[in-house]
Chains A and B, each alone.
Chain A
């Protein structure tokens, strides 16, 4: 079974600064997706960024980028130019790709609560 570990329960960053959230995972599979989801206090979970394991290039979405180290099974999220609206719980998640069907299950880490200091 796959596991996802987020070792930082809480992080804080000054507005406009850069912060990196850590995530490690354990799997014996070679093909999978990794995600970072954001859950603001309103509770609606939204996707921040996705990474397909077969792609060596790190995914980037505006101020959000990842450092994907497949051999080390590490998937960190970097948020540049932090904004007050970035304050939320951030969850790292794993999705198997063994089969295209019946693998909608996401395995989540325990989350990192990010606080933005004005």
Chain B
């Protein structure tokens, strides 16, 4: 099976702009989670989608949003970008149950806000 893919891998944006990141989960996985990784705050949970519904959300402002499509692909959007949004954004997919539970991570999208 192909792994989790994320596009684009690198992105440079200017403050005030908006950005959309994409994540394609492993075939058959219906849950997609997003995390923000920064040197200062570490890895923080953004939100999780399952069957096109947001099931869980972290403590991020409303500028951060996401959605999931019927094929389980997910996008996250950040509006009105701030310098502090510069981070590595990781997507992970999983099957939601089972003794071999695991979240599989993508390579990430490196966002730089100038």
A: which residues have CB within 8 A of B? 33, 37, 42-47, 50, 52, 91, 95, 100-111
Contact = CB atoms under 8 A, between A and B. Distances in A.
B94 interface: yes
B97 A47 contact: no
A108 B106 CA distance: 17
A47 B105 CA distance: 9
A101 B97 CA distance: 8
B45 interface: yes
B97 A100 contact: yes
User: Chain A interface mostly helix, strand, loop or mixed?
Assistant: loop
Contacts of A100: 96-97
Main secondary structure of the interface of B (DSSP, over half): strand
Interface stretch (B13-21, B48-56, B69-77, B78-86): B48-56
A1 to B, nearest CB: 10
Contacts, number: 61
A44 B94 CA distance: 16
B56 A43 contact: no
A105 B90 contact: no
B42 A108 contact: yes
B31 interface: yes
Interface in B24-50: 31, 33, 35, 42-45, 48, 50
Contact of A102 (B48, B97, B99): B48
4 closest residue pairs by CB, A with B: A45-B105, A108-B43, A102-B55, A104-B48
Interface string B86-108: 00101010101101011111111
B103 A50 contact: no
Contacts of A103: 56
